[in-house]
Structures are given as C-alpha cells and as structure tokens.
Structure 1
C-alpha cells in the first residue's frame, strides 16, 4: 500500500472545494496560517499532510467537514477542537452521546449533537454505507477492519481511501494489541494525547491542542505530586459485572484505554491475571481471591449501567457480598475506555477522588440517568472555565 495517500476527490468534494475556498472553521492563527470563523473569511487552502505510522502521510486538500466516526474518543477530540458538528456517525450513540454531554454540561457552551447519528458498526462495516456518507476522512483504524470484519480485504480498505477519503486511526494502541498482518511491520503505538495531537493536525487546530495539553499536564502534575506513598495506596480492580462473570481490565499497563487509571498508580488487584484478548473474564471466586479494596465498575457512568444496581447484585450474591469493596461501600462508577481528551480530564479527576479521597476530595457518587456530578469549586482538579474557553475558541 502506498505510504502517501491522496484524499479521494468525489464529485461532491470537488464542487465543495470550488465553493468554499476562503472559508474556515475557527478564528485564529495556526502554524502561521490565517483562518477565520465559519461566518466567512480568508484561509490559505493549501494542501497539507498528517502522518499516522502504519497508514503513512495522509494528504488533505482542506479541513474535513464530514467525518466518519466510530469510537467516541475521536468524537470527543473533534468536540475539543471545535469540529464536533463534522461527525456523521458514532459507535453506540445512545451510550456515548449522553455520557459525553454529561461531562460537557460542566463546560459552558460545549455540547455534542449526537441524536441524529447512527452506529456504523452495528451490523458490520458496509462499503455501501461509506459511499453513501461520502466522508472527507474516516476515523477508524484500517487494521481494526482487517482484524474484525471477515468480509474485508486490504484491497477493499485501499479502495475506500482512494475513492472516498482516507482512513485515520489507531485502535491497537488501546492495550498494545497485535495489528493485522498487513500493518505489522509499520505499526506504532500512540498515547491518547499523541493521537489527539494527530487529529488536531487533521483539523489544523494545533493551538487548541497545545492549550488543552497544558491543562492536562497541570492536572497530571497535580495528581502525581499528591499521590500517597506506594504502601498506602489501595488495591483496585477495573471490571464490568455481567451476570455471574466479571469482564476485567488492567489498571497500569500501556495503552490509552488506561489513560484514566495508569496515572493514579494504584495497586492492580488483578495484576497476576493475564489474558490473550483485550480483556479477560473472571468468576466470583477469582474476584474473591483478588479481593480489591476498590471496584471501579467500567462503563458505570454511562446510561448502560446503574451503579446502584451493580452494588445490589454484588450484595445479593453469596460471594460478592463478602468482597471488601462491597463491605466498605467502595464500588464506584468508572468511566469509558473510549475516552478522548475532554473525557480524560474528567475521568482522571473522577478516578483520583475514588481512589484517594483524602488528597483529592471525596467522590460525590453517580446517580443513574444523570451526568457527571457537580464538584465543589474548591475541590475541582482542573479549571472548567479554562477548558470551555479553549474549546469555544474564546481563549
């Protein structure tokens, strides 16, 4: 496959380019290029390229206005960059959309309109759908397609990139899993914020990225400088309860799925367990052997789960009721692994309070059907107003 990929030029894109030269999305100066807001103004319109290791240099004629989105981290990145309206699809929108807006409710002027979006992976990825959407860019890792979609071959992936728009994504950085054979020699793993940087370059929004990264760096520094000594940190298990089984995840391994737990450096109660897939499955007896001080219930802050119901299921189980985290009321609603930069800020704050209430303030709990809870101003770990100003472009 060619390492340099030209953005597919459909009839719609050619027409759009001829009509919109000179328009831009947000006022500001990015890498020396003058741009103005969506009401009109000058922009250079010069082609540019962005690199993703296993895809190569992806060239764009103009900033994407119509983006195929699967996993919510890319939608969150687009919202953070002021381009959320460009999303034309979303994985599990009824779960991801309300969860994202539950965070954004605390950022004045920031919201994500998700209700019209459909899940492109619900019935398998279809070429016909991609042609109908006619997207400027596809935020999905082609390696994910080849490892999960039996009907797709590398030639199909290449055809979509050549005739519609390029692929841009990195799935296997989630837990540093193995990529498809076609990309094994060139695949590289990225952190969440490195991926965000690449997406920011796709949208030519480096100033926004750098400003948000500064907020993140301050948050990380605040957390790391206030962690208790290692021997005073709790053991924790990141799990999802499903019937009589726990879907399990590690806390501190490499990968952006752990971007909200690894910086907290708690003791992983499941560190001695290993699994070949991206997650494991353990029964109640294994969980009793691990017996974590804190159970971080994965997806617990989403509409898919009610943390009160989870606690009741554990309390009603003869083994679950004896778990230390159940007895001490430390079964808490954790976030989503598909987190972008804005979600990561909130989920880091949330997890810090859940694991270490003394230095970071008590976690107020989560109520099913509601968004991220209100945190008293003097107990917030990052500046909401600063983040909102960056996202809105007023900073």
Structure 2
C-alpha cells in the first residue's frame, strides 16, 4: 500500500504532531504580521527597520531547528515519513518485538502476541546475555488486536503488517487507513515468514524480505542504524563460520521440525527448506528435508508418517520452555513401538528449538544451536538438556560473542 497523497480535510492527529508549532503558531503569526503597515514608512524608518529585521532574521535562523524528518520504505506500506524516532511501539508478532528488543528498545514495546509465552521464550536466551533483560509478560496480547485498543495504546508506530491485520475478521481497509491517519503509521512485514500470499488488496504490491533485511528497515525507523550494523556484522561472521564448517551435502542430516500439544495424539510437522524467515535459523545449514516435499509445512502427521520419513534429526518447537520436559518427550518416543524405530530417536538426536517468529537475537542463538545439533563434529556438540534455558556453552565452543551482543543491545559497544 502506497501512502495516500490525496489532500485530506483538516488536521489529523499525526498532522498536528508533525506540524504542531509551525502550523498553529507560525501560521497565525503570519496572518497577523505578513501585510501590516510597511507602505507609509520613511527612508530612515526603512533603514532602521531593515537593520532590525536583518538581525532578527539572523537570530531566528539560528534558533530554528533543522528539519529532522526522515522516511523509510518497505512493502507493503510504501514510504513512511517520521518526524522523530518513535517512542512507544506496538507489535503484533514477535519477530518485530524481537527487532525492537535487539535495538535496545524492548521496554518501549507495549503489545506482543502471546506475551506470557514469548516473554518466557525470550528469557531462555537472554539468560546468556549479561545485563540484558526482557519484560513482556503483562503486555497487551495483540494477536486478535482491536482498533479500539490501538486508540487506547496510542502508539508512535505499529510494527505490524497491515496486509495480515486486514485478514482479521473485525478489520477492513477503512480501519487500516483510519489507524494510519489518526494514530500512527503501520510499518511491518509478516507474510515474509513463509512467503504467504496476501489478500487481493495487496496483490502485485507485496515484496518479501529476509529477517535481517527487514531488521535493517526497522532500525532506520527507530534511528538505531549503528546497533543494526554492529549486530549485522555478528550475523555475517556467524554465517561465514557455518558456511566454512559445513560438510558435503551427502553428509548432512535429514531434518524435520515438530510441535505438539500431545506428542502421542496430534503432531504438526514443518519442512525446513521452505523460504521465509521462519526457517532462517535452519536454512543456512542446508539440511535435507526428511519428507522430501511429500507434505506441506504445517501438516498433521503421526508416528507412522514420521517413521516413513525417518529423519536423522527431530527438532521440537517450544522445547526451550520451562514447562516442557524434553526428557519426558524423548522417553515417550522411545517407549512407542513405532516411534522408537525412527533414526533420530534411536540415535538420541531429538532436540529443542525456540521460536519460528524470531527476532535477530534469537536468530543468532538458534543458528548456533542448529549448527551444533546438526554437525557436532564441526561446531561442537549441543549439550543434552531437559529444555531451557539456553545451556552454558564453553567460551571456546561458542559461535558468537555473548558479551559483545549484550553490549550492542545495551548501547555500550
């Protein structure tokens, strides 16, 4: 959606914020003084007035602040203009909340999907970042957000994808535009998670971004480009380390990503090679898809289907949560006559994972953990654990510097 350039009647809330002093103060002053009493002045009066006016103009030019507005462009919202970095930040999905967090703005987030769950998830990783904390447990749960709540929150920016929000039952395009006009702009892209198709309103205009491409744009919005550049350098180094250590393709494991409320009754399987940032912690390792394209990502499967695919590695989403016991999960699989025949179960290669809607910091950790889970000989073994928090890995076996990342988040780099 491109920004609407059609003139609107009156000043919206955002217009008032943008033009406040100039439109109200400057406009009224111009109306009072712009045409007053200059036609009957004498030469002396003109000379004196000219000198005074010149001095006043010089003082005014010195005192008038420079225009600090800036714009950032991203699909599907187009080019969005900001007068100053947003302070309060609405997010709907946690890849956006994770971006704000990585840029030292986690405390300015006022809403997140599943706040208690994702607050706990992030804490499993921040435990390994000295001096870094997250506190989202009591925020507004924004998955089924309402327009009325957005008015109440009165955020400076909505890091949320309007092309996804409009798919909620209570939303339409008029609501999307109303929020943009009267509260603050939308700036988010979520369909890039798995390259999902937008609804008809956005067809042809929607572009997909990697996690880190989108992170760069969010950093521009929040005026935190230096933090982004520092974290991007860590990410580049980590990818280079992984690329240098990858074994030949025929030596890479077959992998499946699972989640289940009850592993014996209902399992969802996600393929690992599909495009989008949901697999950005797995795809750089180029594992083989255990299902070889036979199922769509997110399909229901049973133990028989898993045995037929026979993955070398099983990754279990939510396995980092403190209320999830990976030991119990492994025992359940080992005790089932069908599941016990799966190679990953027989070889003790059933591992926890964190979240697919990951921000940059979780992406760093999950790249490291995937590398260790897939290729322990090259990257060091992943410590067998019952779940979270992220295990303490010896410094010489870490694939990125925890203290450096913590310093970047805290602005001390």
The alignment status of 1:136 with 2:156, answered yes or no, reads yes
**Matched-pair contact (CA < 8 Å) for 2:14–2:181:** no
Of 260, 266, 274, the residue aligned with 1:245 is: 266
| Residue 335 of structure 1, CA deviation | 2.1
| Residue 82 of structure 1, CA deviation | 1.3
Q: How does 1:159-308 map to 2 (within 5 A)?
A: 159-243=178-262, 244-275=265-296, 279-303=298-322, 305-308=324-327
In the alignment, structure 1 segments of 5+ residues that lack a partner are 19-42
CA separation of 1:186/1:15 partners in 2, compared to 1, >3 Å: closer, same or farther?
Answer: closer
- Taking the aligned partners of 2:114 and 2:101, their CA distance within structure 1 comes to 17
| Residue 50 of structure 1, CA deviation | 1.1
Secondary structure (helix, strand or coil) at the match of 2:112 reads coil
The alignment status of 1:83 with 2:87, answered yes or no, reads no
1:9 counterpart residue number: 13
Residue by residue over 1:290-327, the C-alpha shift from the partner in whole angstroms, topping out at 9 and shown as x without a partner, is: 01011011221134633223223322333112211111
2:59 counterpart residue number: none
Looking at CA atoms only, which structure, 1 or 2, has the larger radius of gyration?
2
Of 63, 69, 72, the residue aligned with 2:94 is: 72
Secondary structure (helix, strand or coil) at the match of 1:49 reads strand
Q: Count the aligned residue pairs.
A: 365
**Matched-pair contact (CA < 8 Å) for 2:315–2:352:** yes
Secondary structure (helix, strand or coil) at the match of 1:188 reads coil
Shifted more, 239-248 versus 46-55: the winner is 239-248
TM-score under structure 1 length normalisation: 0.87
| Residue 248 of structure 1, CA deviation | 1.3
2:41 counterpart residue number: none
Secondary structure (helix, strand or coil) at the match of 1:236 reads strand
Residue by residue over 1:58-116, the C-alpha shift from the partner in whole angstroms, topping out at 9 and shown as x without a partner, is: 11121111111121111211121111111001111222112212212222222112133
Shifted more, 124-133 versus 339-348: the winner is 124-133
**Matched-pair contact (CA < 8 Å) for 2:146–2:170:** no
**Matched-pair contact (CA < 8 Å) for 2:314–2:350:** yes
1:339 counterpart residue number: 358
- Taking the aligned partners of 1:99 and 1:127, their CA distance within structure 2 comes to 28
2:393 counterpart residue number: 375
CA separation of 1:189/1:2 partners in 2, compared to 1, >3 Å: closer, same or farther?
Answer: closer
Structure 1 stretches of 4+ with a deviation exceeding 4 A read 4-8, 10-18
- Taking the aligned partners of 2:301 and 2:102, their CA distance within structure 1 comes to 36
- Taking the aligned partners of 1:359 and 1:321, their CA distance within structure 2 comes to 27
The alignment status of 1:145 with 2:165, answered yes or no, reads yes
Of 115, 124, 148, the residue aligned with 1:93 is: 115
- Taking the aligned partners of 1:300 and 1:17, their CA distance within structure 2 comes to 53
Secondary structure (helix, strand or coil) at the match of 1:185 reads coil
- Taking the aligned partners of 1:335 and 1:16, their CA distance within structure 2 comes to 45
In the alignment, structure 2 segments of 5+ residues that lack a partner are 23-64
Higher helix share: 2
Secondary structure (helix, strand or coil) at the match of 1:299 reads coil
The two structures, once aligned, show a CA RMSD in angstroms of 2.4
**Matched-pair contact (CA < 8 Å) for 2:115–2:137:** yes
| Residue 12 of structure 1, CA deviation | 10
CA separation of 1:373/1:215 partners in 2, compared to 1, >3 Å: closer, same or farther?
Answer: same
TM-score under structure 2 length normalisation: 0.83
- Taking the aligned partners of 2:187 and 2:385, their CA distance within structure 1 comes to 34
Residue by residue over 1:236-283, the C-alpha shift from the partner in whole angstroms, topping out at 9 and shown as x without a partner, is: 1111134323211111221000110001111110232232xx622212
CA separation of 1:367/1:59 partners in 2, compared to 1, >3 Å: closer, same or farther?
Answer: same
1:22 counterpart residue number: none
Secondary structure (helix, strand or coil) at the match of 1:248 reads strand
| Residue 379 of structure 1, CA deviation | 0.2
- Taking the aligned partners of 2:14 and 2:2, their CA distance within structure 1 comes to 20
